[in-house]
Amino acid sequence: MADPLLQAEGVTKRYGGLVANDAVAMTLLPGEIRGLIGPNGAGKTTFVNLLTGFETLDAGRIRLGGRDLTGLPAHQIAARGLVRSFQVARVFANMSVLENLLLPFLAAGSAGGLAHGQARARELLATSTLEHMAEESAGALSGGQRMLLQACAGFMIPSARLHVLDEPFAGINPVVKDTLIDLIERENRVEGRAFLIVSHEMAIVRRLCPRVTVMIQGRVAAEGALEEVARRPDVVEAYLGRVAA
Amino acid sequence: MIFSTELLVQTVLSGLMVGVLYALMALGITFIYSIVKTINWAMGEFYMIGSYIQFVAVHYVLGARWWWLAAIISAAGTFLIGLILEPILIKPMYARPMQRRDDYATVVTIALLLLLRSLAVALGGPNQYRPESDLPVVWIGPLPQEGARVAAFVCALLALGIFWIVIKKTWVGLALRAAAQNRLAVQTSGVDVYRLDAIAFAIGVALAGLSGALLAPLFMVFPTNGAVTTVKGFEIIVIGGLGSIPGALIGGLLLGLVESLGAAFVSSPYQNVYGFLLVILVLIIRPNGLFGERGREA
């Protein structure tokens, strides 16, 4: 078995009396696409925030490729290869689509290879069917196109190896949805990128993710193939409520 | 008061000239606000520091001929001071969760204002100084203009040009524009937003320092010389809209024009009043300023 890419152990976060993440553990292999599912309020977004440095852990450790990321500020975690997207796509509306992609590339100190960055950006835009929008301001994009752009911006960080996508498919139209799925599959296959995808869309999770992690009430409740975990009574109960006997 | 075309042209010209300098000051305030989300109430004290550096450099070291080098040194000096002070004074408000960020920033920058003013009194006394200027009067057509004023105007235009190039053409400018829109998302791009804060703060106060240096031969050098300029800077922010760069530029020119026209054609002792009338007018018609946004995107 290959060395794990991500090792999160005992990740814990409390808000007053509420334990939002209770000793969450997760191990991802290089090139893996993992789904993270669970009912609303299960602590999925909190976990994403803790992984990527947007909130501070109360306890636990996070390692990426053997390097300790625990407690680093968000921008350093991104620069070390653990990159996230937000549930509501945060693109820079007043900048052009191309500028949105060049920023993470240049921020990594790759200014010397600007031509290379531009070529890479064009390539990603072609896969995302956004080529014709390259010079337009990102504010002109639809919600789904912004989600594509946000994902592509993550791919522009040269060191990025694990991409955490928080609800990337929520509220976007089916055509863009397919484009985004293609983009993820392509980046996974060609570039060997790993993904952790938070989603409620089971059809897409089934298609993209060989394994899923289920969170319920701040804990990891199950891990395995979607078909497998979906049969577990505790998972069913968390989603549907207790079935009256 | 006799009306003449010549007087009108001269008044408009000198209004525009001083307006560009006002714009520089307002641009500094608005630029810091748009990135750091903080109003720097000590802006005028950086203007003051710039004017002192200019005086010391011209009077004791370089001589009047090298006024432009002194101005560059003043701008660079205030830039460095800003770069050092921001992480110490402003950064703590982001580094740990804080309930009343704006209150913190207000108290800290007003404390800085008092400290810097007292420091100026301690070091230079309550005296007025004036750096020598040997620039000849410039004739624009039949109209004479003070050499130092024309020089200040030209340098301010140059500074605006350089600012524009930095913001539009460099990657730091790209990162600054991104941070102005979304502080969270810019971190996802691997950008250290705290470093950007320091850079933005330094650029903003350097603009104030440069105006202080350029206006030193015209408006004198003394511990509270930044006060009036600060007030004018904020008048422009209200006119143009907080956080808007075009607002700062247009607002600066408008204020310069209104003051200059009012002084020439209505009554000159009330020069500072006309700007406030303009502010009131703008507040009635467009409460968010000419270019202000109603709300900001989260």
Whole-number pLDDT of residue B46: 96
Say which range, A68-77, A176-185, B270-279, has the weakest mean pLDDT.
B270-279
For residue A8, give the H/E element and its range: strand A6-15
Which residue of chain B comes nearest to A112, CA vs CA?
B171
What lies within 8 Å, CB to CB, of B292 at 6+ separation is B240, B241, B242, B243, B244, B247, B286
- Say yes or no: B174 contacts chain A, CB-CB below 8 A: yes
With contacts defined as CB-CB under 8 Å, which chain B residues touch A106? 171, 174-175
Decide if B171 and A78 are in contact by the 8 Å CB cutoff.
no
Instruction: Tell if the CB–CB gap between B182 and A108 is shorter than 8 Å.
Output: no
Mean pLDDT (whole number) for A42-67:
93
Q: What's the pLDDT tens digit per position in A217-226?
A: 999 999 999 8
Nearest-5° Cα angle at B165, B160 to B166: 95
Subunit contact B185:A90, Cβ cutoff 8 A: yes
* Chain A partners within 8 Å of B186 (Cβ): 75, 92, 103
Task: Please tell me the distance from the alpha carbon of residue B117 to that of residue A99, in angstroms, as a whole number.
Answer: 42
A144 assigned to some structural domain: no
Closest-CA distance of chain A to residue B192, Å: 6
For position B280, what pLDDT does the model report? 92
* Cα distance between residue A164 and residue A162, in whole Å: 7
- How far is B192 from B173, CA to CA, in rounded Å? 14
More confident residue, A192 or A238: A192
Q: Report how many domains make up chain A.
A: 1
Phi/psi for B263 (5° steps) reads -65, -40
Tell me whether residue A133 is in a domain. Answer: no
ipTM above 0.95 for this complex: no
Question: Looking at the domain assignment, is residue A27 inside a domain?
Answer: yes
- Residues spanned by the domain of A173: 6-87+160-240
pLDDT at position A116, please? 86
**Closest Cα in chain B, distance from residue A76 (Å):** 6
| A108 touches B: beta carbon within 8 Å | yes
Residues of A in contact with B187 (CB under 8 A): 53-54, 73-75, 78
The helix (H) or strand (E) run that includes residue A59 is strand A59-64
Please say if the pLDDT value at position A170 is more than 70.
Answer: yes
Asked if residue A2 has pLDDT above 90, the reply is no
CB contact under 8 A, A106 and B174: yes
Nearest to A92 among B178, B187, B190 (CB): B178
Nearest to B159 by CA among B291, B61, B252: B252
User: pTM for the complete prediction?
Assistant: 0.88
Structural domain includes residue A81: yes
Sorted by sequence, the CB contacts under 8 Å of residue A73 that are 6+ apart come out as A53, B187, B192
pLDDT band at A171 (very low <50, low <70, confident <90, very high): confident
pLDDT, chain A, mean: 90
Contact B216, B128 (CB under 8 A): no
Cα–Cα distances in angstroms (integers) from residue A66 to residues A63, A74, A195, B148, B239, in the given order = 6, 18, 17, 63, 55
Q: What is the CATH number of the domain that holds A189?
A: 3.40.50.300
Residue B175 to chain A, least CA–CA distance (Å): 7
B234-238 long-range contacts, Cβ below 8 Å, gap at least 24? B234/B26, B234/B29, B235/B275, B235/B276, B235/B278, B235/B279, B236/B22, B236/B23, B236/B25, B236/B26, B237/B26, B237/B29, B237/B30, B237/B289, B238/B279, B238/B282, B238/B283, B238/B289
A21 beta partners = A13
* Inside any domain, residue A139: no
Low-confidence ranges of chain B (pLDDT < 50): 296-298
What would the pLDDT profile of A132-151 be if each residue is shown by its tens digit?
998 899 999 988 999 999 99
* A134 lies in some domain: no
For chain B, give every domain's residue range. 12-225
| pLDDT value at residue B37 | 87
Residue of A nearest to B178 (CA): A92
B256 and B235 in contact (C-beta within 8 Å)?
no
Of residues A206 and B2, more confidence is placed in A206
Instruction: Give dist(CA B98, CA B103) in Å, integer.
Output: 10
What residue type is A6 in one-letter code?
L
Contact A34, A234 (CB under 8 A): no
Structure confidence at residue B296 (pLDDT): 47
Residue type, B103: D
